[in-house]
Chain A
Amino acid sequence: MAILAVEGISKSFGGLQVLQSASLEVAEGTITGLVGPNGSGKTTLLNTIYGLIKPDEGTVIFRGQKISGLAPYRIYDAGLAFSFQLPRLFFQLTVLDNLLLAARNQVGTSFSGALFRRRRWRRQEAELARKALQILELLGLVPLALHATGELSGGQRKLVEIGRALMSDPVMILLDEPAAGVNPVLGRKIYQKLRALRDQGLTFLIIEHKLEMLLDFADRIYMMDAGQVVLSGTPKEVIENPVFYATYVGETKNVTFPG
């Protein structure tokens, strides 16, 4: 059963057709990878799903609800979370505050709630802070929790960006290259955590250039080329398809599928 269905999305910027009737489906409780050469439209597709870009044509259905055309904060309400390719953090706020801002159903984020339901939100803040610290523990960022994110390195910023997506308790997360700019060991650790979350029922759609990660962790892979989804299947099927080599790896060298 597909939790997310992207149907015939087209988008052009000026004369440049970035997406040409791209379609894909993500099954619930899976890690689905999205690969393709640079400029094939992966990031644009992800941004379109999350409402950051309005598609010219096509629809996005999430859990039976049409979400294309909705503003990003409505799509968040529907249970999706999004992590940017280049971190867009609140650089003067602490790591902790960056995570807390992402939390769902906060009493104290409304004007009246902040003023008149002080005791409620103070208790909630303490709970959410502990939850945020658990996520930071996983990402190895606890010592930096009270530092402004502007002081962090590029890799650490990327981790905070992922932490924010985890913080919102979503049903499904769209991740744009979660392991980019992160050292290999930590990159693997992130994927192991994502797999553990998938086993708990979370769904992921992940853009990734590190093939070894997808081969080890993805349940299904889609490949895009020139704005279209051209290939799909299990990692084994995709990697054995000659089209995959021709468009993405660029050579026909025989790579063996591990395991």
Chain B
Amino acid sequence: MDLTVYLLDTLVFMGIFALLAMSLNVEYGFTGLGNFGKVAFFMAGAYTYAITAALGWPFYLCLVFAALVAGALGALISLPALRLREDYLAIVTLTFGEILRIIIKAEQGLAGGVWGITIPSAFAGLDLTPRMTAWANVVLVWVIVVGVFVFLQLLINTPYGRVLRGIREDDVAVQVLGKSFVLYKAQALMVGSAIAGVAGGLFAQYLRFIDPYMFLPLVTFLVWVMLILGGPANHWGALIGAVIVEFFNRGSRFLKDYLVLPFDPNNVQFIIFGLLIILLLLYRPYGLFREKPLRTGAEAEVLKWPSSP
């Protein structure tokens, strides 16, 4: 493959994973919800995109619909999950991902089952060279990444974001202070799932072929590594974490061609990620980027207050 196309391909994947890491950040970083089924919503988005694109819908409508379907699934899973304690939420979401994958695998009529499904490229009619198509994909993905980033920054630095952070710290205290945490948790799961759905749609559009084996629980854990590395409750952290992990991921694949090792470096990367997480949790539990204090304009009043230092 052309090296430029390969680098552009890496950029596309970095963008898709940045979306996933930011979506997990809304749920875990800010609201404290340990969603271990991230891949389910990613997969729901990808398959929704595939099915709607096959119906001949334009790509932007497919993406919007992917977000809606994944968001609706997020709302659905919040119904039983939010009444459970955190550790049970992790188990429920993890199994949900596997159940969804097995259903899609088994239902051949829905989207090809184990055989997978092909998807038309969003840029099919434009008659572009492979390099131009790669560029178009990079632009498409990163425009959406920037859009989601700005949206989430706007959403988080508000009194709403304060309630989400409060729920992460102590949901009973939030309840005592007059806010129903069930509603907020459900909304956080919906927003996070919708973003994961968009990421899935972009993934399907870009690869132009998906099958159930692309959506193993490993994807979820990769996203967790990105977020923990980058720093939960900081969207820059989620973004940079995704870029770094994806860079490592690609780098180790390259290594295979240039280094003669008695083992496959592809397998070593998981050992490296594991070590990285252990070291991070020991020495830098808040990740590369720390959580920033909330900025709603209220903090400015403190400095104006006569008796403040």
Mark A residues whose CB is within 8 Å of B: 50, 52, 71-73, 76-77, 82, 84, 88-94, 96-97, 100-102, 104, 106-111, 113-115, 118, 121-122, 125-126, 128-130, 132-133, 137, 142-143, 145-146, 164, 168
Least distance between B169 CB and chain A CB atoms (Å): 4
Least distance between B149 CB and chain A CB atoms (Å): 15
Task: Flag if A146 contacts B293 (CB, 8 Å).
Answer: yes
Task: Flag if A93 contacts B296 (CB, 8 Å).
Answer: no
- By a CB distance below 8 angstroms, the chain B residues around A132 are 298
Cα(A146)–Cα(B305), bound, Å = 12
- By a CB distance below 8 angstroms, the chain A residues around B300 are 126, 129
Least distance between B146 CB and chain A CB atoms (Å): 17
Partner of A82, one of B165, B176, B297, B308: B176
Least distance between A104 CB and chain B CB atoms (Å): 7
Task: Flag if A108 contacts B308 (CB, 8 Å).
Answer: no
For chain B, the bracket of interface size reads 35 or more
Task: Flag if A52 contacts B172 (CB, 8 Å).
Answer: yes
Could you name 16 residue pairs across A and B whose Cβ atoms are closer than 8 Å?
Answer: A73-B178, A82-B176, A89-B169, A93-B166, A93-B169, A94-B293, A94-B299, A97-B165, A104-B178, A108-B159, A109-B159, A111-B187, A125-B296, A137-B307, A142-B305, A145-B308
- By a CB distance below 8 angstroms, the chain B residues around A142 are 302, 305, 307-308
Least distance between A89 CB and chain B CB atoms (Å): 7
Partner of A96, one of B158, B165, B299: B299
Report if B162 contacts A (CB, 8 A): yes
- By a CB distance below 8 angstroms, the chain B residues around A129 are 297-302
- By a CB distance below 8 angstroms, the chain A residues around B176 are 50, 52, 72-73, 76, 82, 84, 88
Cα(A102)–Cα(B305), bound, Å = 20
Least distance between B295 CB and chain A CB atoms (Å): 10
Apart from A88-B170, A111-B155, A114-B159, 17 more pairs, CB < 8 Å: A72-B172, A84-B173, A88-B176, A90-B166, A92-B168, A93-B165, A96-B298, A97-B165, A97-B294, A114-B155, A115-B155, A121-B158, A125-B159, A129-B301, A143-B309, A146-B299, A168-B178
Cα(A108)–Cα(B297), bound, Å = 12
Mark B residues whose CB is within 8 Å of A: 154-155, 158-163, 165-166, 168-170, 172-180, 187, 291, 293-294, 296-302, 305, 307-309
Task: Flag if B174 contacts A101 (CB, 8 Å).
Answer: yes
Task: Flag if A128 contacts B298 (CB, 8 Å).
Answer: yes
Task: Flag if B170 contacts A126 (CB, 8 Å).
Answer: no
Partner of A108, one of B158, B174, B180: B158
Q: Which residue of B lies closest to A91 (CB)?
A: B169
Task: Flag if B308 contacts A143 (CB, 8 Å).
Answer: yes
Q: Which 10 A-B pairs have the closest CB atoms?
A: A108-B159, A76-B178, A114-B160, A129-B301, A114-B158, A90-B169, A129-B298, A88-B173, A102-B177, A125-B298
- By a CB distance below 8 angstroms, the chain B residues around A77 are 178
- By a CB distance below 8 angstroms, the chain A residues around B165 are 90, 92-93, 97
Cα(A89)–Cα(B168), bound, Å = 11
- By a CB distance below 8 angstroms, the chain A residues around B155 are 111, 114-115
Cα(A106)–Cα(B196), bound, Å = 30
- By a CB distance below 8 angstroms, the chain B residues around A94 are 293-294, 299
- By a CB distance below 8 angstroms, the chain B residues around A137 are 307
Least distance between B194 CB and chain A CB atoms (Å): 12
Least distance between A94 CB and chain B CB atoms (Å): 6
